[in-house]
Amino acid sequence: MINTIILVFVGGAMGALIREFLMIGVPPVADGFPLDILVANIAATFLLGLTAAFHARKIVTDSVNTLVGTGIMGGLSTFSSFVYGAVVLIGASVQSALVAILYLLVSVALGYVAITLGLRMGGAGSARP
């Protein structure tokens, strides 16, 4: 139990650092579209799918799956920022509300594609490991 907590803690810290570097490195979009958050979430979704597929195929251990899948990907992805970005856009103007809706739809659609691609590239063979 303690090992699991440590793995999640260390992985979460690593994921949060990676997310912050992405937030700094991804250029802002003129219309307020939160591209940095989208990139972080889609990358985390793809890598989670890959890790889950590797875990299902016994390529990675339970500990690695916990460190990467729960810890790093949990720290890298950011649901609260995802929703906050949409709420801020919705309240700004009608045009911003349309951008927010587009952002939400693109995030969900790309997230689905990314997790499926990660699972398949990891050799799970289908969307369900």
Residue ranges for the known binding site for Na(+) are 74, 77
Cα gap 36→86, rounded to integer Å: 13
Residue ranges for the known binding site are 74, 77
Cα gap 63→106, rounded to integer Å: 32
Cα gap 51→68, rounded to integer Å: 7
Q: What is the pLDDT of residue 129?
A: 47
78 pLDDT more than 90: no
Cβ within 8 Å of residue 91, ≥6 positions away: none
Name which of 39, 52, 22 is nearest 107 in CA terms. 39
Report the amino acid identity of residue 68. V
Residue with the two structure tokens 């649901």: 79
pTM listed for this prediction: 0.82
What tens digit of pLDDT does each residue of 20-54 get? 999 999 988 877 788 998 999 999 999 999 999 99
Domain-by-domain residue ranges, the chain?
2-121
